[in-house]
Chain A
Amino acid sequence: MSALTSLTLKAALKGLADKSFSSLELTRAHVDAVEAARPLNAFVLETPEKALEMAAAADRRIAAGEAGPLEGAPLGIKDLFCTEGVRTTACSDILGNFVPTYESTVTSQLWRDGAVMLGKLNLDQFAMGSSNETSAFGPVVNPWRAEGSNRQLTPGGSSGGSAASVAADLCLGATATDTGGSIRQPAAFTGTVGIKPTYGRCSRWGVVAFASSLDQAGPIAKTVEDAAILLKSMSGHDPKDSTSLDIEVPDYPSFVGKSVKGLKIGIPKEYRVDNMPPEIEALWQKGIAWLKEAGCEIVEVSLPHTKYALPAYYIVAPAEASSNLARYDGMRFGLRVEGANLTETYEKTRAAGFGAEVKRRILIGTYVLSHGYYDAYYVKALKVRRRIADDFDQAFQKVDALLTPTAPSAAFGLGENADDPVAMYLNDIFTVTVNLAGLPGMSIPAGVDHNGLPLGLQLIGRALDEGTLFSLGGAIEKAADFKAKPAKWW
């Protein structure tokens, strides 16, 4: 079993194509691994029967010579993607037992290409959180532990289930979404690769909405090449999403392994924040040295509005969320708590169905959009957002990509930041700028800290230039030679 689950996606696809093993064998091994890993709480719904059915169908297509690019590969799906006939909750009580009658575009493309669904993965409720602790199903536990410690650590958030299940070899790859860092921060906390593509690359249709101008889907995977294979299937124009880009999807896997010689890499000086652990700074310097060795030219750049990105985000994202989440009114789907009249029914339903962090953000969003505050907060934040995007535009006139740490720390203990919302928000300090500007960003595991916990480096690219990120990510991956795996305790 462990031999098959420890394969990369790329190696598994090759084994399937060579008929070294069947999708049924590969899927069975992963189904068993998922079942054995329940202490991680990574899956909120296991779909073993569906998985084995899909695997059998994949085997038939392989035998018939009709294999798709992901044929027979078992994946995990973040429970924010609507899956037809399979419960989808956004890990919130307000969606209760919602069973979509349609399939999200991104997942439908994965099935089109032959992938197999193992089940639905845990996340912070409505993707609002950085530690998975806001999930109505309870937090995911990081498969990684500090050396010599039994303390339970967060896998990060919001895509904590996606990151943990990939790190623990429960699936060959997972879908995830990123509104302020929700793919990249969990990838960094679990020693996995995560990429948020350019806004508009992946269709948002059928993905439960949080903040529509920031939300973007992407994969979490074991290697840079695996991430490239998955993103290629997930991307592409969709007329059902008006912000989906009608631009050809490049062959991402072909960029991995390409020479990065002569590329100019910007190091934004504003990302050297106060109280950053020296280990993160040291890792950053290592990343710079690796890229120099690979032939890149290192250039210091300035993104002067960096420190304002998080506060701007905490206006823009809650404002959009308060509007998006107005649909949960207890009338057409999801939870309904009856009151004496219509208004009371709305109020009781939403009070019972939303978790504390979701309510907090809806209240902030409603406040900043309310009469008298709209210009002072919301419009101001949109102007600051423009300043942040302009900073990147100027930097990208001089460089081809940027290198930064992914997160300001390694994985922290569950419960550690629970009492201070602002302290929790600061987790996204290096990732959130990318969402505001709509740019692609990737996290690559690059080393471990003094406790043996993984740390990630982030690459930020020009809009639509995921290809360069895959080349650079491949170069970092090769130089870092990150081989550490969490010791199995579950």
Chain B
Amino acid sequence: MAIDAATVRKVARLARIAEPEEKLESLAKELSGIMAWIEQLAEVDTDGVEPMTSAVAVALPLREDVVTEGGDPSKVLSNAPKSTGGFFVVPKVVE
């Protein structure tokens, strides 16, 4: 299915990536090309096939619900673009 510029605009918004208006057409063409190649999957008969969600069939292990490490805010904040007083500083979310 062909992807148009409006769809790219919508998907880019969902992915939180700013794509300039003038790039939408060329991106739409590129993504349509890739999706057209992917369309061949429709040829495969998958009736009754269970989707494969994991590369190895193992049950997820459980562990004790206890704190394993932590208590070092300076480590947690050491790569923060902005921080103050032991907190991350982020743009205002609530007006």
Determine which of A312, A354, A366, A386 lies in contact with B49 in the assembled complex, contact meaning CB atoms within 8 Å.
A386
Contact between A312 and B41 (Cβ–Cβ < 8 Å)?
A: yes
Q: Which residues of B contact A362 (CB under 8 A)?
A: 15, 17
With A101-B75, A347-B18, A364-B34 as known contacts, state yes or no: A331 contacts B49, CB within 8 Å: no
Residue B66 CB within 8 A of the other chain: no
Contact between B17 and A363 (Cβ–Cβ < 8 Å)?
A: yes
Contact between B49 and A350 (Cβ–Cβ < 8 Å)?
A: no
Contact between B17 and A381 (Cβ–Cβ < 8 Å)?
A: no
Bound Cα distance A197, B44 (Å): 28
Q: How large is the interface on A (under 10, 10 to 19, 20 to 34, 35 or more residues)?
A: 35 or more
1/0 per residue B58-80: CB within 8 Å of A? 10110100000000000110111
Q: Which residues of B contact A329 (CB under 8 A)?
A: 16
1/0 per residue B1-36: CB within 8 Å of A? 001000110011111111100000001001101110
Residue A333 CB within 8 A of the other chain: yes
With A331-B90, A370-B14 as known contacts, state yes or no: A387 contacts B44, CB within 8 Å: yes
Contact between B51 and A382 (Cβ–Cβ < 8 Å)?
A: yes
User: Closest residue of chain A to B54, judged by CB?
Assistant: A213
Q: Which residues of A contact B88 (CB under 8 A)?
A: 331-332
With A239-B63, A360-B30, A422-B33 as known contacts, state yes or no: A366 contacts B14, CB within 8 Å: yes
Of the candidates A367, A386, A437, the one having the most CB atoms from chain B within 10 angstroms of its own CB is: A367
Residues 360-410 of A contacting B (Cβ, < 8 Å): 360, 362-364, 366-367, 370, 377, 379-387, 389
Q: Which residues of B contact A334 (CB under 8 A)?
A: 79, 81
Q: How large is the interface on B (under 10, 10 to 19, 20 to 34, 35 or more residues)?
A: 35 or more
Determine which of B41, B79, B82 lies in contact with A98 in the assembled complex, contact meaning CB atoms within 8 Å.
B79
Contact between A330 and B81 (Cβ–Cβ < 8 Å)?
A: yes
Determine which of A245, A315, A354, A370 lies in contact with B38 in the assembled complex, contact meaning CB atoms within 8 Å.
A315
Residue A335 CB within 8 A of the other chain: yes
Q: Which residues of B contact A343 (CB under 8 A)?
A: 16
Residue B53 CB within 8 A of the other chain: yes
Of the candidates A311, A362, A386, the one having the most CB atoms from chain B within 10 angstroms of its own CB is: A311
Contact between A422 and B16 (Cβ–Cβ < 8 Å)?
A: no
Bound Cα distance A245, B53 (Å): 17
1/0 per residue B40-54: CB within 8 Å of A? 111110100111111
Q: Which residues of A contact B30 (CB under 8 A)?
A: 360, 421
Contact between B52 and A383 (Cβ–Cβ < 8 Å)?
A: yes
Q: Which residues of A contact B7 (CB under 8 A)?
A: 367
User: Closest residue of chain B to A375, judged by CB?
Assistant: B51
Residue A111 CB within 8 A of the other chain: no
Residues 301-352 of A contacting B (Cβ, < 8 Å): 305, 307-308, 311-312, 314-315, 322, 326, 329-336, 338-339, 341-348, 350-351
Residue A480 CB within 8 A of the other chain: no
Contact between B17 and A383 (Cβ–Cβ < 8 Å)?
A: no
Contact between B58 and A243 (Cβ–Cβ < 8 Å)?
A: yes
Contact between B53 and A213 (Cβ–Cβ < 8 Å)?
A: yes
Residue A463 CB within 8 A of the other chain: yes
Bound Cα distance A335, B75 (Å): 18
Residues 149-164 of A contacting B (Cβ, < 8 Å): none
Contact between A387 and B49 (Cβ–Cβ < 8 Å)?
A: yes
Contact between B17 and A351 (Cβ–Cβ < 8 Å)?
A: yes
Residue A114 CB within 8 A of the other chain: no
1/0 per residue B75-95: CB within 8 Å of A? 110111110000010111100
Q: Which residues of B contact A98 (CB under 8 A)?
A: 79
User: Closest residue of chain B to A426, judged by CB?
Assistant: B37
Q: Which residues of B contact A200 (CB under 8 A)?
A: 55-56, 58
Question: Can you list 23 A-B pairs with a CB-CB distance of less than 8 A?
Answer: A200-B55, A200-B58, A213-B54, A239-B61, A239-B63, A243-B56, A245-B56, A343-B16, A347-B16, A350-B18, A351-B18, A351-B19, A363-B31, A364-B31, A364-B34, A366-B11, A366-B15, A367-B7, A383-B50, A384-B46, A387-B46, A422-B33, A422-B37
A-B pairs, 9 with minimum CB distance: A438-B55, A382-B51, A333-B79, A383-B46, A336-B81, A199-B55, A347-B18, A386-B52, A351-B18
Question: Chain B interface (Cβ within 8 Å of chain A)?
Answer: 3, 7-8, 11-19, 27, 30-31, 33-35, 37-44, 46, 49-56, 58, 60-61, 63, 75-76, 78-82, 88, 90-93
Besides A99-B78, A348-B18, A382-B51, 10 more A-B contacts (Cβ < 8 Å) are A198-B56, A213-B53, A239-B61, A314-B38, A329-B16, A332-B79, A350-B16, A350-B17, A363-B15, A384-B46
